[in-house]
Structure 1
Amino acid sequence: MDDVVIIGGSFAGLAAALQLGRARRQVTVLDTGLPRNRFAGHSHGLLGHDHQPPLEILALARQQLARYPTVKLVNARAESVGGTLDNFVVTTGDGLTLPARRLLLSYGVADQMPSMPGFAECWGKSIVPCPYCDGFEVAGQHWGLLWSGPHAQHAVSLFHDWTDRLTVFADGHDIAPEIRADLARRHVDVIDGKLIAVTHQDGRQPSLDLDTGHSVAVDVLFAHPRNRPSAGLHEALGLETVDGPMGVVLQVDDRRETSVPGIYAAGDLANHMASVTLASSHGAMAGIFAQQSMLQ
C-alpha cells in the first residue's frame, strides 16, 4: 500500500512528491502529461526557472525525483477512486489498482475555449490570462482586455503597471455606466460589439473581428475563459467546492486538506489564482501535511 497516491503530476503534484520522497514515504504519482500551461512557450515568475519552457521545467523535476526510491511516476489516468481514511483505492484506465492511506488531488483545470475561429490557436501566444505570467514581455505595448463581467474592472487598474495603452472589448456585455465612467477616467477605450473571430499570423499579431463589421488590432489580448476541473474524481468523492468568477475550485483548509479527511488538494484545482509558484508552494505544503497526518 502506498502512503500517498498523487493524481496529477504537474507543478503541484511533483512538488508534493518531492517532499514525501524526502520523508521516505511510498508515493505513486499518476499523470496524463497534459499540464494546463503546455500551450505557453515560457513560464515566468518561478524562482530559479524564470523564462524557461514549462515542459522543460517539469521534465527536469521528474529527473530529479528519480533519486528518491520511494517515489514512482506512472503515466496513466485515474479513472475511479473511493474509500476512506487509511483505505483509499485508485483505479487507472489500464486497470491498475492502487491502495493508499492518503490521496492528493492535483489534476488541475482545463480552460474552456470559446468556439470562435482563431481563439484557441492564439491561446498561450497572443491571448493570455495573467499579467504576472506574461505582462513583462509585452510591457508598453497595446493591450486588449476581453470583458467577462464586473470583476474585469480590477484587471484594468492592475494592467496600468505594465501599459498605458489598453482597449476594453465589451464582447456583448452590458457594462454599467459608472464602470464606463471609470474606464474613461483611466483613458481606456471601450469597443462595443461581440467578438466573432480572431485573425492572426501563426497565433501572433491578433486582430479582433467584431459583429459590427469592425476589426481592431492589438499586440496582446488578455482573456479569462471559464475553466473546469480536468477530471470529475472530486465529485465521486463528494468533496466540497467553492465557486468563483472563472469556475469552481476544491475547498481546502490551511493544511490543504479537503472536506474529506485524508484527501488533500493543491494547484489550480484548489486555488482561484493560477500560478506555477503558488502551485509548487501549495503542493509542497499538501505533501508535508499529508505526511504529518500519518505520524500517529
Structure 2
Amino acid sequence: MNDVIIIGGSFAGLAAALQLGRARRKVTVLDTGLPRNRFAGHSHGMLGHDHKPPLDILADARRQLTRYPTITLVNARADSISGAIDDFSVLTADSESLRARRLILSYGVVDQIPDVSGYAEGWGTAIVPCPYCDGFEVAGQHWGLVWSGPQSMNQVRLFHDWTDRLTVLADGHDLAPDIRTDLARRHVAIADGRIVGIVRHGEHEASVKLDTALDVAVDILFAHPRTKPSASLHESLGLDTITTPTGIALKVDERRETSMPGIYAAGDLANPGMPSVTTASWQGATAGISAQQSMLV
C-alpha cells in the first residue's frame, strides 16, 4: 500500500511528492502530462527558475525526483476513488487499482476558451491571465483587458503598477455609469461591442476584432475565461467547494485538507486567488507535509 497517492503531477503534485519522498514515504504520482500552463513560452516569478519554459522546469523536477526510491511517477489518469482514510482505493484508466492511506488532489483546472476566432491560438502568448506572470515583459506598453464582471475593476487598479496605457474591452457587458466614470477618471479607454475575432501579431501583439466593425490593437491582451476542474473526482467524493469569480475551487483548511479526512488538495484546483507556479508549489509542499504528519503515531 502507498502512504500517499497524488493525482496530478504538475507543480503542486511534484512539490508534494518531493516532501513526502524526503520523508521516505511511499508515494505514487498519477499524471496525464497536460499542465495548464503548457501553452506559455516562459514561466515567471518562481525563484531560481525565472524566465524558464514551464515544461522544462517540470522535466527537471521529475528528473530530480528519481533520486528518491519511494517515489513512483506514473503516466495515467485516475478514473475513480473509493474508500476512506487509511484505506483509499484509486482506479486508473488502465484498470489498475492502487491503494493508499492518504490522497492529494492536484489535477488542476482547464481554461474554457471562448469560441472566438484566434482566441485558442493566442492563449498563453498574446492572451494571458496573470500580470505577475507576464506583466514585467510588456510593462509600459498598451494593454487590453477583456471585461468579465465586477472583479475586472480590481484588475484595472492592479495593472497600473505596470502600465498607464489600458483599454477595457466590454465584450458585450453593459458597464454601469459609475464604472465608466471611474474608468474615465483613471484615463482608461473603453471599447464597446462583443469580441468576434483575435489576430495575433508576433509573440504578444494582437488586433481585437469587434462586432462594431472597430479593431483595437494592443501589445498584450489580458483575459480571465471561466475555468473548470480537469477531472470530476471531487464531485463523486462530495467534497466541499467554494465559488470564485471564474469557477469553483475545492475548500481546504490551513493544512490543505479537504472536507473529507485524509484527502488534501493543492494548486489551481484549490486556489481561489491568483494562480501561479509559486503558489502551486508552496501549496503542494504544505499538502505533502500535512499528509505525512497526519500519519505519525
So what's the TM-score if we normalise by structure 1? Answer: 0.99
- Shift of residue 16 of structure 1? 0.2
Confirm whether residue 116 of structure 1 aligns to residue 110 of structure 2: no
Write the mapping of 1:168-187 to structure 2, written as runs, cut at 5 A.
168-187=168-187
Please say if 1:107 is aligned against 2:104: no
1:279 aligns with 2:249: no
Q: What are the Cα deviations for residues 46-85 of structure 1, in whole angstroms up to 9, with x where unaligned?
A: 0000000000000000000000000000000001111101
**Identical aligned pairs, as a percentage?**
70
Secondary structure in 2 matching 1:248? strand
Q: Quote the residue 2:258 is aligned against.
A: 258
CA distance in 2, matches of 1:204, 1:13: 30
For residues 256 and 114 of structure 2, the distance between their equivalents in structure 1, rounded to whole angstroms, comes to: 32
Supply the distance in 1 between the matched residues of 2:241 and 2:202 (Cα, whole angstroms).
38
Residue equivalent to 2:296? 295
2 CA distance for matches of 1:289 and 1:176? 46
Residues 246-277 of structure 1 show CA distances to partners (whole Å, capped at 9, x for unaligned) of: 11000000000000000000000000221100
Match of 1:246 in 2: 246
Q: Which amino acid in 1 is paired with 2:268?
A: D
Q: Is the 8 A contact 1:43 1:133 kept in 2?
A: yes
Task: Measure the CA separation in 1 of the matches of 2:253 and 2:165.
Answer: 40
CA distance in 1, matches of 2:224, 2:182: 21
- What does residue 153 of structure 2 align with? 153
**3-state SS, counterpart of residue 198 of structure 1:** strand
RMSD: 0.8
Q: Distance in 2 between matches of 1:201 and 1:145?
A: 17
Amino acid at match of 1:187: H
Counterpart of 1:263 in structure 2: which amino acid? Answer: I
Give secondary structure in 2 for the equivalent of 1:137. Answer: helix
State the Cα deviation string for residues 164-209 of structure 1 (Å, max 9, x = none): 1000001110111111111000000011100011122466421011
- In 2, are the aligned partners of 1:123 and 1:203 still within 8 Å (CA)? no
SS in 1 for 2:246: coil
1:225-236 correspondence runs (5 A):
225-236=225-236
Equivalenced residue count is 296
Instruction: Output the CA distance in 2 between the equivalents of 1:223 and 1:73.
Output: 34
Residue type matched to 1:287 in 2?
G
Three-state SS of the structure 2 residue aligned to 1:174 is: coil
State the alpha-carbon separation in 1 of the partners of residues 28 and 138 from structure 2.
40
- 1:96 CA drift (Å): 1.1
Q: What letter is aligned with 2:55?
A: L
Equivalent residue of 1:50, what SS?
A: coil
Partners of 1:88 and 1:100 within 8 A in 2: yes
Q: Deviation per CA, 1:110-150, whole angstroms, max 9, x where unpaired?
A: 00000010001000001000000000000011000000001
For residues 13-46 of structure 1, what are the alpha-carbon distances to aligned partners after superposition, in whole Å with 9 as ceiling and x for unaligned? Answer: 0000000000000000000000000000000000
Aligned partner of residue 38 in structure 1, secondary structure:
helix
Structure 1: how far apart are the matches of 2:203 and 2:42? 15
Compute the TM-score of the two structures, normalised by the length of structure 2. Answer: 0.98
Any idea what the Cα deviations from partners look like across 1:82-115, whole Å, max 9, x if unmatched?
Answer: 1101110001111111000000000000000000
